[in-house]
Structure 1
């Protein structure tokens, strides 16, 4: 089940990349009662707390096509640590995000992801997702 945990988190981040399409599949990665929240001063205020699968998908959709928030966006997941038991897993990962915004700006950002999964019959699903920005800086201008 450990590989499935990482596969679920990796798939979630891939569906949040732009350009990509997350139609239909994004919600399937979360439990019905999932919680998604920003942590720390920067992300706590920016993202707050969203509860429930449908509300999480709606919130994330504000950042994904056809919304022009990102021109391009890619998430890179670094190895993390996690504990697995019979019914769930909980872990922490570092993630780097490279973004080119619709407004023209660019950014490199590193965040800590603290994620809890519950095991369903067919796959682990995210039941709690917390992201906290650790570092960000503008990327150099394109040449």
Structure 2
């Protein structure tokens, strides 16, 4: 392929750059939506129950997706779930049972984003660091931080989905039971 002459526009290169920017934007939104749907209380208004929450999360994944915890701390805690049915069971174990103490606050904060759209335009990877405070009904509280190294795939419909969620513990730190004094029992931020 010859080099474009001065003053001419390489439209193919511009289209490719636009496709990469659009892919990065969609991937960023998918990752943020996943984290948002994992927050407690759930900020997605009018979701009937945790089963509905799980279905919204699963809609972000490819059929053959993998969800896994890796590294010294998360290998034994989370393991690996392959395929949507296994990922559903993973989330049902977390939300599908009444727990004592109950998780009453969990909010995900994403940072250190890196998104790489591969040359084929159909696959991408993304890395983030996230932190999340946890507060339980018995007053126990902690701060967790993890690294994410996720894969994404563009579907036949032209939309991106999560092909792999891989999380590795950075740290877990106990927090004082009184670190949060005011928090909602139910989110209404998305209420129409």
TM over 0.5: same fold?
Answer: yes
Say whether the 8 Å CA contact 2:62–2:163 is kept in structure 1.
Answer: yes
| TM-score normalized by the length of structure 1 | 0.91
Specify the structure having the higher radius of gyration (Cα).
Answer: 2
1:115 pairs with 129, 150, 168, which one? 150
The answer to whether the aligner puts 1:52 opposite 2:83 as a matched pair is yes
1:134 pairs with 160, 166, 170, which one? 170
CA gap of 1:66–1:133, structure 2 versus 1, over 3 A, is same
The answer to whether the aligner puts 1:12 opposite 2:26 as a matched pair is no
Structure 1, unmatched stretches of 5+, are none
Say whether the 8 Å CA contact 2:54–2:88 is kept in structure 1.
Answer: no
| TM-score normalized by the length of structure 2 | 0.69
More strand per residue: 1
Give the deviation of 1:108 after TM superposition: 0.4
**Hey, what does 1:63 align to over in structure 2?**
94
CA RMSD in angstroms, aligned pairs only: 1.8
Structure 2, unmatched stretches of 5+, are 1-22, 48-52, 182-192
Distance 2:35 2:106 in 1: 10
Distance 2:98 2:35 in 1: 17
Please show how residues 21-60 of structure 1 align to structure 2 within 5 Å.
Answer: 21=47, 22-60=53-91
Give the deviation of 1:102 after TM superposition: 4.5
